[in-house]
Amino acid sequence: MSAERPALSLVFPVCNEEPNLGPLLDAALAVAPQLAGDFELILVDDGSRDGSAALLDARRREDPRVRVITHPANRGYGAALRSGLRAARGDLVFFSDADLQFDLAELEALLALAAHCDVVAGYRAPRRDPFVRRALAFGWGSCVRLLFGLPVRDIDCAFKVFHRRVLEAIPIASIGAFVNTEILVRAQSLGFRIRQVPVSHHPRRHGRQSGARPRVILRALVELALLYRELRRPASGERAPVAQ
């Protein structure tokens, strides 16, 4: 592949992840060459207030395969992910979080499945989050399945691969935690094939999680209602694919 269109893009939203960024970049730069002859790393700094920006700038200067997008102020997880996905040039686009809760070596299994479908979604097996987060995730997943018939067992798992055609076909409006749900629901509504695969999950060691905050949950519920209203009248005769 040419540098204009790398085979693989790896996208990581970042917000105050300074202790995790060095190990993350080291792991990504070790794994990616084994999976694609030509690749790029895209890190979106979403208004970090720690040393994340300086660290990313230093690594960008060291390695041209590292691209950095900067949001001067915090816009939200969905906005950061959207910036990264829109900037990605790869034929296959992978995204994950920067918190070291996933093993990037397991990306190989997702890429193998990508030859037979449009989206490959990891699911945490088992999930290593506190009980409250797991309970909220169960309730959220049940709600999404009820409203949209989306048979994905771990909607918010930040370990997914998309063919470029999927990202080019769907709009992304969410600026918060709803973004994973929006992308999968829109992909399903357009008939894209979704496969699922188990991935390892590790407890967060550094930094703070924000997904369970009341404000984040409220915004996700509002965005859920807006998307339901938009998609509640599908074309007649249209059948949604089944995730496997």
Q: Has residue 193 been placed in a domain?
A: yes
133 DSSP assignment: H
**What pLDDT is stored for residue 204 in this prediction?**
82
Which residues have C-beta within 8 Å of that of residue 25, sequence separation ≥ 6? 41, 43, 59, 66
What is this structure's pTM?
0.89
Mean pLDDT score across all residues of the chain: 91
**What pLDDT is stored for residue 107 in this prediction?**
97
Q: What is the pLDDT of residues 83-109, one digit of tens each?
A: 999 999 999 999 999 999 999 999 999
The residue to which tokens 């920067």 are assigned: 98
Q: Has residue 204 been placed in a domain?
A: yes
Q: Has residue 124 been placed in a domain?
A: yes
Q: Has residue 183 been placed in a domain?
A: yes
**What tokens does 86 get?**
């829109």
Give me the number of domains the chain comprises. Answer: 1
Domain harbouring 18, CATH code: 3.90.550.10
Pick the closest to residue 137 from 148, 150, 127 (CA basis).
127
**What tokens does 132 get?**
């409250």
Q: Which residues pair with 122 in a beta bridge?
A: 197
Q: Has residue 239 been placed in a domain?
A: no
Q: What is the pLDDT of residues 204-215, one digit of tens each?
A: 887 666 555 788
End-to-end CA distance of the chain: 30
Percent of the chain with pLDDT over 90: 78
Q: Has residue 244 been placed in a domain?
A: no
Q: Has residue 241 been placed in a domain?
A: no
215 DSSP assignment: H
Q: How many CB atoms lie within 10 A of CB 235?
A: 6
Q: Has residue 61 been placed in a domain?
A: yes
**What pLDDT is stored for residue 234 in this prediction?**
52
**Which domain range does residue 62 map to?**
8-231
The residue to which tokens 């920006």 are assigned: 53
The residue to which tokens 């037979």 are assigned: 116
**What pLDDT is stored for residue 128 in this prediction?**
86
- H/E element, 124: strand 119-124
**What pLDDT is stored for residue 236 in this prediction?**
44
In contact, 80 and 42? CB cutoff 8 Å: no
